[in-house]
Structure 1
Amino acid sequence: MNICLFTPEEINNPLKKSDERAKHIIKVLHKQPGETFDAGIIGGAAGIAVITNISEDGEISFSFEPKSAGKKLYPLTLIIGFPRPIQLRRLLRDAAGLGVQKIILCGTDLTEKSYLESNVVSDGSAYKMLLDGTAQAASTHVPVLEVARTLDDVLKTTDDTASKIALDNRRASSSLHDFLLHEGAHSVIAAIGSERGWTERERDLLEKAGFTLCSMGIRVLRTETAATVAGSIILDSMGFLQ
């Protein structure tokens, strides 16, 4: 946790001893009254918090001074074939850490149907992973998370002004490296299939929607690994990781 994130309501109230952020401030950062820690408002300003008091029961009172508008998210949308929940948690944390603007989880032809019934999104676990990744990156802006039942539903609403990439190691017409080298993209939508990849029907559907099928070499990667690697390569090609 490289920044403590608060909602606008929380930023003006003491932190209770049981709060994970309070535990981090006291037990990890070893902060005392008068000292500071990095803090920010979720979706808003980043700045410095000054500890004004630590009560006998462990409550931390602090004041907050904004310093910047926070790190902007990058113009990259990831469409992800719904992975198994344990992979999804890691994927969301890493994607948020990279600064991805939006993540769309969707069912695919080969998605295990039970994954779609997982409560990882509805119970708040997914959002917590996004917050964890955002805090790790010392950022305040959290990626938008959307869920769709099918890839077909997602492709009906994709932005036609963005460069569109679908990772595929069977019918790729270009390597991801070569596509990005010649595309000069300012905004990208990248689709990554579920752990069993795309069907021929979905490949046809993606190409019809304007996606270029791109490979990242001959190795077959986990969905979470492919998303992180592709996201890094894309953001680097757009000049955001320099």
Structure 2
Amino acid sequence: MNICLFTDEEITRPLSLRDSRGEHLIKILHKKEGDSFSAGIINGKAGTAVITKIQSHEEHSPDNRKTWLEGTIEFDFTPESDGKPLYPLKMIVGFPRPIQLKRLLRDIAGLGVSQIHLTATELGEKSYLKADLSSPEECRKMLLEGTVQAAGTHIPEVFIHQSLQECLDSIKKEENSQTGSNSTSITAHFALDNVSPEISLIKKMNEAPYDIKPFEQAVAAIGSERGWSKSERELLENYGYVRTGMGIRVLRTETASTVAATLILAKMGLLG
């Protein structure tokens, strides 16, 4: 835990020692009164918190087999910055297995992408969308984990779509609204495809038109574990996505997502 994040309401209240954050501060970081720790407001300011008071006592289970701390940590928070900004990269990801979803969302959030669009695909397993870990609330918890690991405060937005068509329409609508507000930034659209890519991702990012005027925003689409169907490839092309590859090896959805995001962010000059 590289930063403790709180909601607007929590930042002014004592923190319970039974809360995972309070437990981490006392048992892992061994913080005492007068000590400070990195803190921030979710989707808001980052800064430093100073512990002003710790009230604690031990509680025991009826059979004395379990012991835990009860009490609170009082602290004063001083905001110092607006937090680390999210990057202008949106990720479209075909629903992976639930066990992979947690790692994927955590790592993508750690990289600082702005939006994650999870979508059903024609070749993907439909039951994944109904898994407990696939709800917006659970996804947000995983994104929060990645944000905390990266010592950030801003959490990527997560959207869940029932089809790729629905997903692409949603992103296109948002892009059209930005165009209507006189946005002049160039947006690149990449569809990662290990079956029939037109060009490598790295080569495409260095070719026209991006060699003349680099893109300032990007959308990267990664299919589910069975990849894109023929009709989905055609759909992506119709929406202006270039089918790109990242070598001859077949990567897991979570791995492909992290690698693609890293390459794109590096090309945008955001990791240097």
Once residues 135 and 197 of structure 2 are traced to their aligned partners in structure 1, the CA distance between those partners, rounded to angstroms, is: 35
Counterpart CA distance in 1 for 2:195 and 2:105 is: 26
Between 120-129 and 58-67, report the one with greater CA deviation.
120-129
The C-alpha deviation readout for 1:182-202, integer Å capped at 9, x for no partner, is 322100000000000001111
Q: TM-score, normalised by structure 1?
A: 0.97
Counterpart in the other structure of 2:78 = 65
CA RMSD of aligned residues (A): 1.1
Q: Shift in Å at residue 119 of structure 1? A: 2.3
Q: 1:75 aligns with which of 69, 82, 88?
A: 88
Match of 1:181 among 199, 206, 214: 206
- Contact 1:106-1:147 at 8 Å conserved across structures: yes
Contact map agreement 1:121 1:127 (CA 8 A) in 2: no
The aligned residue for residue 8 of structure 1 is 8
Matches within 5 A, 1:169-208: 169-182=194-207, 183=210, 184-208=214-238
Report the Cα distance in structure 2 between the residues aligned to 1:118 and 1:56, rounded to whole angstroms.
38
- Matched residue, 1:55: 55
- Aligned pairs, number: 242
- 1:223 paired with 2:253, answer yes
In structure 2, the partner of 1:26 is 26
Structure 2: give runs of 5+ residues left out of the alignment. 58-70, 177-185
Residue 182 of structure 2 corresponds to none
The range that moved more, 217-226 or 110-119, is 110-119
What TM-score, normalized to structure 2?
A: 0.87
**Deviation for aligned residue 1:56:** 2.6
Matched-pair contact (CA < 8 Å) for 2:128–2:134? no
Structure 2 match to 1:140: 153
Question: Residue 136 of structure 2 contacts residue 160 of structure 2 at CA under 8 Å; is this kept in 1?
Answer: no
Percent identical among aligned pairs is 53
User: Partner of 1:88 in structure 2?
Assistant: 101
Match status 1:120 vs 2:129: no
Q: Distance between the aligned counterparts of 2:202 and 2:231, measured in 1?
A: 25
Which residue identity lines up with residue 135 of structure 2 in the other structure?
S
Question: Unmatched 5+ residue regions in structure 1?
Answer: none
Segments of 4+ moved more than 3 angstroms: none
Q: Which residue identity is paired with 1:68? A: S
On the 8 A contact 1:76/1:187 being kept in 2, the answer is yes
Partner amino acid for 2:74?
S
CA distance in 2, matches of 1:56, 1:119: 35
